[in-house]
Amino acid sequence: MASKRQVTAVGLKREVRDWAGKIRVEPKQLYVQRMTRKWASCSTRGRICLSTDLLREDRRFRSVVIVHELIHLMVPNHGKLFKSLMNAHMPDWERIAGGRVSRMCGFVNHSAGTRTSGGRRRREDLPGG
């Protein structure tokens, strides 16, 4: 079958900087490290971590992950604005990601006091119509 073109960690970081230039954001810190559960994560402080698993992935899939995390530097959620930016830079991203999006993101909002792991809080009193 097709030969796998592996990219190095340095090459991956270069791709991120390329995209950052197009999208006009600037990640403050960029890491490539072993991440078994996520493709990538980022924080509101501008730190982006990418999994070494991405080095073996298709270049287009890497781009989807990269663009996703870079947009998080501007938009700290997955709302309408996030999706419209995603579509603007990567119109085919949903097809390319092929359902792997849910594993993609380990977005951590350090400025908010909410914790998602092991929390006991429930939203019982949602304002309804």
Report the residue number, 13 or 68, with the smaller CB distance to Zn ion.
68
Q: What's the token pair of residue 118?
A: 């092991």
Is residue 82 close enough to count as binding Zn ion by CB under 5 A? Answer: no
Q: Which residue has the tokens 């501008």?
A: 46
**Interface with Zn ion in residues 86-125 (CB under 5 A):** 105, 107
Nearest alpha-carbon partner for 68 in 126, 120, 16, 127? 16
Report the residue number, 61 or 107, with the smaller CB distance to Zn ion.
107
Nearest alpha-carbon partner for 28 in 110, 118, 84? 110
Is residue 61 close enough to count as binding Zn ion by CB under 5 A? Answer: no
Is residue 23 close enough to count as binding Zn ion by CB under 5 A? Answer: no
| Residues lying near Zn ion in the complex (CB under 5 A) | 105, 107
